Structure 1
Amino acid sequence: MTVLVLRLAGPLQSWGDSSRFTTRATRREPTKSGVIGLLAAAQGRRRTDSIEDLLSLRFGVRADQPGSVVRDFQTAMDWSHPKRDGGVNSMPLSHRYYLADAVFVAAVEGEPSLLEALDEAIADPVFPLYLGRRSCPTEGQVSLGVRDGDLLTALTNEPWCAKPWQQRRLPRSVRLQIAYDAEPGQVGDTVRDIPLSFSPERREYGWRDVATTTVVVDNPIGSDEPDWFAGLEGA
């Protein structure tokens, strides 16, 4: 098989899979539905276009720099239905959650011809690429290229993409978590993260099983004295 490797980084990311009403949550890692949406946008597919070929891709993601969860408290006004006295109706207040300063390496496994076409599209996308929400644009190089081999091998061997300032504050050996589409019969978490349709009139999502593993990477510029507060940002 062949694997397309992506670097997902930006000031903010938000990968919702359970957002309801006025609370918009984010998972701690990119979702398969969000990444498929990014790939579809790169190719210029509209929300009503077929994505069946993209659903066949096997997905995985490595948390190179988990980042920290931040909350944005938002208000809005309904200008379409003014009050009789000329005032404006207030919309419900909302809480929106994001990942700040996060960096992930994501990968999709599939047929070479499809992945090569996606790689070319990311280099010159039709629609803007964003990290879960339109307010979260991508930063720097997104596609790291097409690799021969399987999904887990690509995610294990890809060089660590954490920012230098993050690497310096961590020890000389770092353990990174990988979440990936589970094999049939493999034990894992079940999440509603298969985008059956992106249509605004009828969005549909199916279920997928997610397994996890870890990989240890060397950190030559790491500190001999660990930063005891390095893991508290997302607490």
Structure 2
Amino acid sequence: MSVLLSARGLRLAFGGVRAADGIDLDVMQGEFLAIIGPNGAGKTSFINMTTGYLRPQAGSIAFDGQPILGLPPRKIVRRGIARSFQLPQLSGEHTVLENAALAVAAHAGFWSPWRALLRPEYRRDAEALLDSFGLLPLAHARADALNEGARKLTDIAMAVALKPRLLLMDEPTSGVAASEKMAIVETLVRVLRQAGVTAVFVEHDMDVVARFADRVAVWSQGQILALGPAAQVLEDPEVRREVIGIEAGPLLP
């Protein structure tokens, strides 16, 4: 696999808190890379630096061999990087279809009042997108009436509407009922793999990580404590003790 995203020497501090302390990381084309670690370790800061919401005090980030550090978020999206947020960024008073249509229109470079977005071509593409995520039955539901799982999937679907090559997801299962988590992640992994999208996701549920991640990067105090295949990293004694909080035993039954 070739390198799609490369970060070198990233440093970022907020006062005495080091969000990035010399981060070096390559994301490989086609992989699903999980980022795990305690709160405050710098995981979300890495996503924010990669997508242009934060600028590191030192270091570099390249996407497909081209530097992207310093570009605004919209230009980074145009390069082929999209993201979803820990708190879904939906317009609650509008329907799921309208939210999806806005994302489709944004990819086309068209911004307009909401009522103009349901043009036939945007509606058709938005409906196809929702169908791929199993959300078409909810197309006419208001976004603020959805449960958290559907909200998360809708938010990720809107990111996929931008047709990224790389998608960064910040805690895609946070707030989702335990009974829904695996089905939701199975859906998004299926859609992303079919679309050929590389994914990086911050996650606290180790069952989700063990089942779906190709590789795992462990963040600790702004540094990468461990990086490698999921099975190998999740069995590392130091990772299990310091990050996962267990000494022994399988992560999955």
TM-score by length of 2: 0.23
- Which fold has the larger relative contact order, with Cα–Cα distance below 8 Å and residues 6 or more apart in sequence? 1
TM-score by length of 1: 0.24
| Higher percent of residues as helix | 2
- The higher radius of gyration belongs to 1
